[in-house]
Structure 1
């Protein structure tokens, strides 16, 4: 997917040959303003190792950096603090050649010893730091710790980190894993100054619930931390003059907590310079007023879950295929989603390696749907219970009731009578669709955390889930094989086969990839929307 640009070249085709792009003026080298204020929700903690919420990590991404990172505007993994990285033939040892001459904001040197100090710290988390809400991403990626304090924690995937020399760090795993190298780009694995970790007792919980380092992050990023005024709900950063890359053009970067309902007015009043998760109803208005309305490349998938355990009819492949042919996904995109949404062909976006264009597409075909129902002995019709959530909005599901009504109408048109049940998102809806047999169809979504197809597919389909109520040992074995494939290129054909098989089995139907949207002031340019919310504010400039 192409990166969204603030200024695009206009082209025409008059038959006289390739059109020439119009001239686009270069942005100024110096910003006309010294402060950028971004409106957002409440952050929890500024130690990324202990943060799982997007608002905290939005801030820490500007202050701390990871060994590898996603390409600007995309999800593919490239160099970060490591100039080069590779895996050995066993798929278990990752070697990182580090950038030279990099310093932390406290003046100490970044080197392989610092890398290993961070990985060793996370691996040795103990006591309360092993709680799922404190070390969520470590547990998601690496599993357990050096000494697990709960029998529910698995053995750790992490084995060791070795500083071969100042510029070479070697991370060993207990087995190959499909999570890497992309998972190394997660902001929770950003490298902190070991001196600051010691100074602020990073592993000692305080009365506020987090260690002192959670309010005093020190990294190598383009901005350094200045202050966090909890009463004013304001985090201040300033450009780090010793930064090893392109220095930030705006001197001060402020993250101001602003309630979602009043962010648009705060932008119009000039109190903030931007915010994200712009309501669909506000996007056209703000664009018309000259604000830069920027969709992020969609990195999620709305799907229609099909529960095979609750209704015998849904265990028939013909019936699931009929449902797939009955749903008009293009109309969902056109009527229920903002600009930038697209119909989903696989369960993950096409920005990830392994996306397969040759899967069963199930183009909208009501006649085919009726034919398949007749072949399944259901020419007289079928009744299904359809659950959808209340009181929730997601980029992949901006209006659950509208989406339900559109799909229900499509199904009724082919002879499938639908009874809708609307439930509050938590806990009623989540419990109903993931634990029981009280429904036949439901709406849900997958959101990617890092640039690897397994992050979308594995949690949904690698083993039996009550959400779908189906078992396919051959499919589950395919997932086991890809999960233990350490070489990234070797995983691509495996994902393509998995995507094809999933669209044959249809435990669910992928529907739409839906973008969320950023907006910036009329004279603010340079920020490239990221599907991973990994926007680089150091590139921002006021014209």
Structure 2
């Protein structure tokens, strides 16, 4: 990488050392008068993309559903990154292995036993069953609000793809029609052997299957959910909990309140101690500076969807403020995605030469400054970030100092037949650093003759509808956008970047392949990487896919960012979750 005087490894070490030094004072052990009870006050900008755990796929929605929807397996929160990687039993009694008989000798059958004492907050409370997990996985393909993560399961569980294809034809506005389909059609690879035993059969061995079953949208679903359109307004008013908290009040884009779930038992949950009595999330706070001010003044405790403002980062670092930390969270955050379906500019973005021209335009060094400097972010030139399986440094579009090259951009545009430039529709999120990033990229594009019309998206619809509605893409309602992507898990995680973002076979409603990219050679590499049981070979294949994607300029990676985070004076026992870039609400204690 030509832009940096110090390599990425040094950046990560610096960030980790800083985080460790500050963490020594952050009250992880729960001291300083911290105890149970009280209301944890969280403030932020907008609704999560979805409240339904089957659909939720943003940091905010994952933080929320972790409190009321439990998967079979999960990871621990910790301020030591390596401690957050190993998978732990959650509702499952233990991790299946070949040795304990939970995984068959051929690696294709998983038998999972549920622990006792996990109950729904129904009246009367009843135990969560293996059938509830079958129902939860079936719901991923619902046509009303399909899961962006369904590709993980379509490509692994026997019969899942055929089931999903058939389910897509059902009326997504009719709750009864969807429930009838689910209840009358089975997935060959999913079976509730009895109330406590789930059997999952795969088309072929998958070394990361337990990781997939540990993702937040692979949670159980109670039979009551059959009454509602998935993630519809009525569903959002009637969520049911098997976790430590339950949603007791929801006012769109205004307030979400969670109170203790009286049906939850601490001895049934090894991962969520649930110290506070209430979690109150106040929305509509669009300005990161305003959120930060509330945290520092003590009128709020944690940020919902706003990072620490850059000016505050420098001030807090200089002061050694113990409430501030930079947590390690290797990610593709943010990146520019192209709408390859857009009819605008005579379908210019479908032309690889145009996308390659734009790849030279972006000043990534300016974006590093927007995010808070090299302690927080470094330029990224490939789609697999550092610390993830298949990452290897390469740069298909180098520019001096990562500052961009507008002259080369203009030259390539002219060669592609667009010497007069382009006009692009550019929706952006209004929270956090996003407005500044959008303005910076807009200026970069202008320097090479491209006019980008910025469109503010302040209603929480960026991920829930703007980028994930194919009809909107085909109508040209947007051309470029800047989402973030954090791997769904770390460790054996090659699948968690390339497949959800670039597998062309998964494009459709709620797909995280936002631009509709589809390259048959990339799809073949994905299949080959998923089928191999040799991690080193899989990593080579993921890297090969990365190179092809970059040669196509399917996206423009901007940064790999760590996460600056702040807590109020009264927050103790703050433990970080790298995959959702937030502290674990269930572990927080409040100073008395």
Alignment TM-score > 0.5, same fold: yes
| Alpha-carbon distance, 1:363 to partner | 4.8
Q: C-alpha separation between the residues in 1 aligned to 2:322 and 2:279?
A: 19
Secondary structure of the corresponding residue to residue 95 of structure 2: strand
Give the Cα–Cα distance (whole angstroms) in 1 for the partners of residues 210 and 549 of structure 2. 25
Q: C-alpha displacement at 1:501, in angstroms?
A: 2.7
Offset at residue 336 of structure 1 (A): 6.0
Q: Which residue of 2 aligns with 1:419?
A: 451
- Aligned residue for 1:84, secondary structure, equals coil
CA distance in 1, matches of 2:321, 2:428: 31
In structure 2, the residue matched to 1:507 is: 554
From 502, 523, 538, the equivalent of 1:461 is 502
- Contact 1:9–1:24 (CA<8 Å) still a contact in 2? no
The alpha carbon displacement at 1:37 in A equals 1.4
Query: Cα–Cα, structure 1 residues 336 and 537, in superposed 2: closer, same or farther, change >3 Å?
Result: closer
2:66 aligns to what SS in structure 1? helix
> Which moved further from structure 2: 400-409 or 426-435?
426-435
2:258 alignment counterpart: 235
CA distance in 1, matches of 2:414, 2:55: 54
SS in 2 for 1:537: coil
Question: Gapped runs of 5+ residues in structure 2?
Answer: 1-11, 98-102, 155-160, 172-180, 341-345, 508-512
2:227 aligned residue: 204
- SS for the counterpart of 1:248 is coil
Aligned partner (choices 54, 60, 68) of residue 73 of structure 2: 68
| Count of paired positions | 509
Residue in 2 that maps onto 1:404: 441
**Residue 341 of structure 2 corresponds to residue 329 of structure 1:** no
TM-superposed CA distance for 1:284, in Å, is 0.6
Contact 2:112 2:199 in 1 (8 A): yes
Q: Which runs of structure 2 are paired with 1:214-363 in the superposition (5 Å)? A: 214-219=238-243, 223-225=244-246, 228-230=248-250, 234-237=257-260, 240-245=265-270, 248=273, 250-261=275-286, 263-264=291-292, 267=295, 270-278=298-306, 281=309, 284=312, 287=316, 292-294=323-325, 297=329, 299-305=331-337, 310-311=347-348, 315-316=352-353, 324=359, 327-335=362-370, 340-358=376-394, 360=396, 362-363=398-399
Give 1:190 deviation, angstroms. Answer: 2.7
Conserved? CA contact 2:391–2:543, under 8 Å = yes
Highest CA radius of gyration, 1 or 2?
1
Distance, in Å, in 2 between the alignment partners of 1:493 and 1:157 is 36
Contact (CA 8 Å) 2:357, 2:412: kept in 1 or not? no
**Higher mean Cα deviation, 181-190 or 32-41?**
32-41
Aligned match of 2:29? 27
Tell me the equivalent position of 1:520: 567
TM (normalized to structure 2)? 0.65
Aligned match of 2:400: 364
Q: Secondary structure at the match of 2:144?
A: coil
Gaps of 5+ in 1: 11-20
CA-atom RMSD in angstroms: 5.4
Question: What is the CA deviation profile of residues 284-322 of structure 1, one whole-angstrom value per residue up to 9, with x for unaligned ones?
Answer: 189479573455625344334568984599645xx8666
Deviations 1:376-401 (A, max 9, x none): 99699955325352552366844244
Q: Displacement, 1:205? A: 3.5
Decide which of 89, 100, 109 is 1:93's aligned counterpart.
109
Deviations 1:57-100 (A, max 9, x none): 433313443222245366746123243245657664334466x6
Deviations 1:438-468 (A, max 9, x none): 99x8443352462244443334433398987
C-alpha distance after superposition, 1:25-50 (max 9, x if no partner): 87346724632413255579976347
